[in-house]
Amino acid sequence: MDHLILASKSPRRREILDRIGIPYILCGSEIDESLGEGRNIRSAVMGISKRKAGAIAPRFSKGLVLGADTVVLCKGRVLGKPLNIETAEEYLRLLNGGGHQVLSGVTVMNSGSGVEYSAVSTTSVYFSEMTRDEIGWYLSLGEWFDKAGGYAIQGTASLFIDRIDGSYYNVMGLPVEQLFRLLKRFSYFRSAGEYSPVKKP
């Protein structure tokens, strides 16, 4: 059975795979992750996930390469990873008291055959109203750093989340429900409905 190769440097995606017990080989992908002007967001995140997987696949004679990309979309604006605390504050004020969408493109590619399957997962996240002091306190924690949208749902930001509609793990950066369906298409699991992954050779 082909082993899984994670084409990502994201510690969140590693954490998720560790949580659900899927073994993997880490091989971070270096590509241009810009969405491009005027592009459909769903198509863009799927395209980036394909490019991440495609950049790593030639390095392996066999294996299933996992590429993923996650963006936060609020009021028609894509919120990336804030470069400084001022941008993080701007993002939080935009998210405050309302809803936004988190979209993740996921691609699994067979490095030997080049066969690939992709999907996009969308989750709606709703923030409760945060006071100015609460926003300042959250920013002081530094949790916003290296997080799309400037927050981490698995961390202290969970205190301010009113509800989510969709996959929680998608908001973390890897929708495991989509990943499960894609891996099954490659017969990664012994049988449909059996959740224990085949161990690496």
The single residue of 32, 69, 133, 146 carrying the catalytic annotation is 69
Single-letter residue type at 119: A
CA distances from 97 to 75, 127, 157, 183 (A): 13, 5, 13, 37
Residue whose tokens read 């996921």: 106
Q: DSSP characters for 138-166?
A: HHHTTTTTT-GGG--TTTGGGGGEEEEES
**Rounded CA separation 29/9 (Å):** 7
**Rounded CA separation 67/49 (Å):** 5
- Identify whether 69 is a catalytic site residue: yes
Active site residues: 69
